[in-house]
Structure formats: structure tokens, C-alpha cells
A and B are shown apart, each in its own frame.
Chain A
């Protein structure tokens, strides 16, 4: 699954997610990617989120919307909210990760797998990483 979240110079956020699904999937299985609120969500009042991982768990936790709700209603930071919701996913038995940007300019990620293909960019430069210890 691939995805992107962005904050533009006008202060607006957006999220996009795209996937091939799950190897060997049957019965027209649909994961979290096209489920607005699970794998993808954007709200200028909170953040933009794109997720990757075991989709059924992300749907149950309502991951993308839950992260935004924590930021908007609880005052969490982006990293704090993402880590908390990914801990819920882990507790349910799911693995994966999320990327998050907030209108305040926080750009972060959280994942509970050994690695995640990921990258960040801003006016200061670009960073790409794969492994968990990078």
C-alpha cells in the first residue's frame, strides 16, 4: 500500500492511499484503503492520515479518523495520537503503520512493524527510510 499526506502553504491538508490489496484475496475482499476514516482521512481542523497494514484491524479501530479525533478533541499532538491508535491496532492483533501531517506543521509517522517504506519532505529537505532503526 502506498500513500501520501501533505500540508500546503495555504494551511490545507490532504491524504491519498492506493493499494493492490492482499495477496491471494478472495470473495471481493476490501481492506481499509478505500474506507474513508479507516485507511484515509483529512480534516483541516486536525490532520491528514494515510495507513498501511492489516486492513481489517485498521477498519475495526477506525484508525485514520481516530487519530484526527484525538488531535481535534483531546488536544493530542500528531505523533502522540498516531502512537496511541497504533497501540490499539497492535492490541487488536494488527500490524502496520500510518503517516500524519497536521495543519500546525507536524509531519510524522508511527508503525509497529520491523520496517516501513517512508519519506518526508519540507522546505528544509527530503528524507527516505526503510528499516525501523533508521
Chain B
């Protein structure tokens, strides 16, 4: 079978006139790095599950995207992340919601799938499970970026609808 990999980094009102050239360059480079990372696994005969986790981790680590570092702020000024992973061979799945301290939430979703009897964990329980699994933790300031803070401030100041802001920036 020929291998394939497809990725996304968010959808919305993305216009040429509003995207700065430097930011566009960074985004394209990050997408390409994610593809390279996943492709390397697949081209060497590795598993699709490993490839999707590795590709997503690249995007989680890049502040240009709304996941991991660079995640948007809640109304209360915190970063709460969600993620999910699923294996098509077994239909095993794992997901986490509202986690705050795992550097790569996608790896926590995989740990839920592989190392717990559950499909979804949330909030403080998921944070605790992450620590117990020995996953890398990061402080709140790692996830927060000035640009995301500015977006929250804009939302509050202009009373934009939540969907307007997410589709514009998410």
C-alpha cells in the first residue's frame, strides 16, 4: 500500500491581505515540517498512529496554531486544551478535554487510549493522569502567547461573538 498523510492547522477567514508575509512563511514552514516528520515515519514502514501523533506534535509546538503552545485563551485568561486520537485498525480511541499542563495534549490522548480503560478524561483528572503517566508538563506561561492575549482582549473590548473571533484567528 502507498502511504498518505494529510494535515490541517485550522480553517477560517484567512485572507492574503491580512496575513503578514513573515507569518505566512512561518506557517508554511511549520506545515511542511509536520508533513516531513510524519512522512519520515510512514516512508520507513512505520504506523499511521505514530505518524499522526508526530505530525500533530510539531503543530502543537508551534505558536502560530491553536493547539498546545499558542492555544487561545478562555474568558478567564487561561489556556485549556482538547485532543483526540483514533486507531483505524482496532477502533481504539483516546481523548482529553480541558487539560492545562501537558506540553503535548495529543500524547495524553494516546496515553488515555493505550494506558487506561477509558476513552475520554477531562480537567483535573486528566491533568493528574498525565503526570502519573510521566508525560512532559509545561507551566501556564509556556502555552500563553502575547498575540492570543491580544485576541482575548479584543474580544472582550469589542464584544465580538465567540465564533467570529475563533474563525478569524483559530
A residues apposed to B, CB below 8 Å: 1-26, 28, 30-31, 33-36, 39-44, 47-48, 50, 52-54, 95-101, 103, 105-109, 111, 113-123, 126, 128, 130-131
Contact = CB atoms under 8 A, between A and B. Distances in A.
A98 B166 CA distance: 16
B14 A117 contact: yes
Which size class do B's interface residues fall under? 35 or more
Contact of A53 (B11, B42, B53, B76): B11
Contacts of B91: 42-43
The 3 closest A-B pairs by CB, nearest first: A20-B71, A115-B14, A117-B9
Contacts, number: 336
A23 to B, nearest CB: 4
Interface of B: 1-16, 19, 24, 27-28, 31-32, 34-36, 38-39, 42-43, 45-49, 51-53, 55-56, 59-60, 65-68, 70-76, 79-89, 91, 93, 95-98, 105-106, 109, 119-120, 122-123, 143, 148, 151-152, 155-156, 162-163, 165-167, 169-170
A54 B167 contact: yes
A25 B56 CA distance: 23
A9 B12 CA distance: 33
Q: Which of B6, B71, B97 is packed against the most chain A CB atoms within 10 Å? A: B6
